[in-house]
Amino acid sequence: MKELTYSKAINEALREEMARDSKVLVLGEEVGVPRGGVFGVTQGLEEEFGKSRVRNTPISEMAIAGAAVGASLLGYRPVAEIMYVDFITLAMDQIVNQAAKVRYMFGGKARPSLVIRTQGGVGRGGAAQHSQSLEIWFATIPGLKVAMPATPADAKGMLKAAIRDDNPVIFIEHKKLYATRGMVPEGDHVVPLGKAEVKRQGTAATIVTYSYMVLEALAAAEQLAARGIDVEVVDLRSVNPIDWERVLSSVKKTGKLIAVYEACKTGGLGAEICSRAAEELFDYLDAPVQRVAGLDTPIPYNRKLERAAIPNADQIVAAVDRVL
């Protein structure tokens, strides 16, 4: 094991996969020299692998996604970076109507083996056009996989799995996670997509969450543990496919469910989690399901208002108290 930041773990995954397979390409705005992307995640890759495999692109999300789809159909494994998930709106046709559909439309003969890396969430004062959580858009599209790791170890392992996958993967990295640190296994560390993980064991209630909200849920769990309340924290890691077996088995054990997500409350992923639990585990639930989510509002630029628009550990604690 070694300690890495979240951003360094992603960089290491890219470097290892590019060294392992010459068909792996990186493309996007400023991904090469000098910056290595807006968050510096691809720093050093152009120097090591050259401009033919690390390509700075024009400021055109449609072109970036379209080039990635085309390259994947020719046998390459492109990793395209869209600077912010907000800008992915400009590439929706290429991702939703082409990448997600082509394997089905050609009877499995086409292999859209591409990864779209992008950044989501709040925390940097990015305001309404640079701070959204849009994962639900992609989680509802058959043919797309959506990964949202919360730890450096998962970031590295899941990105390696995504690059090797023969399906298109939307890989969303939360901006506030880049500087976080954690222990990462050395060697060829691969984390399968679609497998949730229990980040903390407990019996009082189940908190289901993903991405940066995993950290808030664990902080809430610490507060509750000081009062003698042990909650279980389930990190989805992938929001499509969802590991329903792991989620429902935890809820069945505790009898109480709190779904936590940063995106707007209305229509968010937590609604699907709560609906599935109500459909399949009604007789096991000892209290109404709870959602702790972002407000249905554009994200403000003001830092205090920004913090007020998304969930925090105190709100999660309050939700657990309600179900108990």
- Catalytic residues, by residue number, are 130
Rounded CA-CA distance 239/61 in Å is 23
Residue that the structure tokens 């060697």 belong to: 187
Element (H, E) at 206: strand 206-209
Structure tokens belonging to residue 96: 């939703």
At residue 97's C-alpha, the angle toward residues 91 and 99, to 5°, is: 80
The Cβ-side half-sphere exposure at 303, using a 13 Å CA radius, reads 2
Longest dimension (CA), the chain: 59
Going by their DSSP bridges, the two strands 206-209 and 232-235 should be labelled as parallel
Q: From 201, 227, 219, select the one nearest 313 (Cα to Cα).
A: 219
Question: How far from 134 is each of 113, 170, 219, 263, 292, CA to CA, in Å?
Answer: 22, 11, 24, 7, 17
Element (H, E) at 94: none
Question: How far from 225 is each of 147, 199, 317, CA to CA, in Å?
Answer: 29, 14, 11
